[in-house]
Amino acid sequence: MEKVQKEKQRVLVVDSGDLFFYNRVGIDAEKALQKGRLIGKAYRKMGAAAVNVGCLDLLQGVDFLRQEFSQGLPLISANLLDPSSKAPIFPPYVIREVAGYRVAFFGLLPPESGPEIIPAIRGDNEDKILIGDPAEAARRTVQSLSGKADLIILLSDLGLYKDQMVAKAVPGIHFILGGHEGRSSRKADRSGKTSIFQSSIKGMYVGQLRLALESIMLPFKDEGEARQIEERISGLDMHLRGLQANRQRQSGKDTGNLDRTIQDLTRQKNALQEDLKRAKEARSQGGNRFLFSLEPLEKSLPEDEEVKKWIAEAGIDKD
């Protein structure tokens, strides 16, 4: 991140949740807390703009999260509420200005998690938290951001299906960045004018969302669409070559079914070539554009020496 931020000044680091802890039988609670504190310290060092509270982040209790927030970690959640006041425990959103645009991030977590972690979450947060309805919280937050933000991005720990439901119920969200289920996506899942992405688990990949804005009044075009169509055409080409070679080997035999398959795939390829032409024309017309990619975090990347020292001093083995 230091390398990226030195090269490009208009970079924001965010996290969609489930950052600190994970559910594993027999895990040492004190060791888990030490790791959680180091993760929070590393995110502060990276200058994170927003970190959504995920359901797994509650495994050691909300008091741990309050402590991290008090030390400067920008935790957000629009539907993690105080039971008595019904007010958000952490700010529902943050707004960061980048290149003259106001970018708002707000966060959501699911009211119900898997049965294997519900008891652990309840046990450490008894009478301390209330998780509100995500769609209601999203609607309230988007309304409150009216006139305050040019771009609204949801950091979600809901899972893809619930992300789709929120996007459908609450217009005005430009992008949803999620990762709760461990899915990864290279192509936008569209719901109305909202584009939804998922970025795998355990930091295996960094999801990069690159934005080029001309006017907040214009819709966003997917710069990756042409590339995705080209990949599909390439796959069909490979399949067709194999079928055509097979047909040549069957010369003189009944190849009716094989011919029909080849014709069908050829029609699909022709249709995709028309789609590719339209996608390239749309890309050349300018306007607001986005490009999403997943960047693998390889073992060959150099470790940050300061963070490495923190880990050694804490006596924690990396895993």
Name which residue leads in pLDDT, 99 or 143: 143
- Please name the amino acid found at residue 34: Q
- 178, containing H or E segment: strand 175-178
The average pLDDT across 87-93 equals: 97
Mean pLDDT of 213-240: 82
The three-state secondary structure class of 294 is strand
How many Å apart are CA 240 and CA 261, to the nearest integer? 9
**Residue 27, pLDDT score:** 73
Residue 172 CA, chain-centre distance (Å), reads 18
Report whether pLDDT(117) > 70. no
Strand partners, 247: none
pLDDT above 70 for 25: no
Asked if residue 16 has pLDDT above 80, the reply is: yes
- pLDDT of res. 65: 95
CA dihedral 188, 192, 193, 195 (to 10 degrees): -20
Whether 298 has a pLDDT exceeding 90, the answer reads no
229 vs 160, higher pLDDT? 160
Between residues 86 and 99, the one the model is more confident about: 86
Residue given tokens 């609204």 in the structure block: 152
To which H or E segment does residue 232 belong?
A: helix 225-249
**% residues pLDDT > 70 (the chain):** 92
CATH architecture assigned to 2-216+287-314: 4-Layer Sandwich (3.60)
pLDDT of 157 above 80: yes
On average, the pLDDT of the chain sits at: 86
Q: What pLDDT shows up at residue 155? A: 97
**pLDDT tens for residues 230-272?**
878 888 889 888 888 888 888 767 778 888 898 999 999 898 8
pLDDT on residue 79 = 95
- pLDDT at position 319 is 57
pLDDT of residue 102: 95
Check whether 115 has a pLDDT greater than 60. Answer: no
pLDDT at 32: 86
Q: pLDDT value at position 291?
A: 86
pLDDT score of 24 more than 70:
no
What is the mean pLDDT of the segment spanning 180-188?
A: 74
- Name 164's Cβ contacts closer than 8 Å, sequence gap at least 6: 189, 191, 196
pLDDT on residue 113 = 66
Q: Please, which pLDDT band fits residue 26 given cuts at 50, 70 and 90?
A: low
Across residues 191-219, what is the average pLDDT? 85
CA distances (Å), origin 61, targets 39, 71, 115, 278, 314: 16, 17, 17, 52, 21
Q: Give residue 116's pLDDT.
A: 54
Helix (H, G, I), strand (E, B) or coil at 170: coil
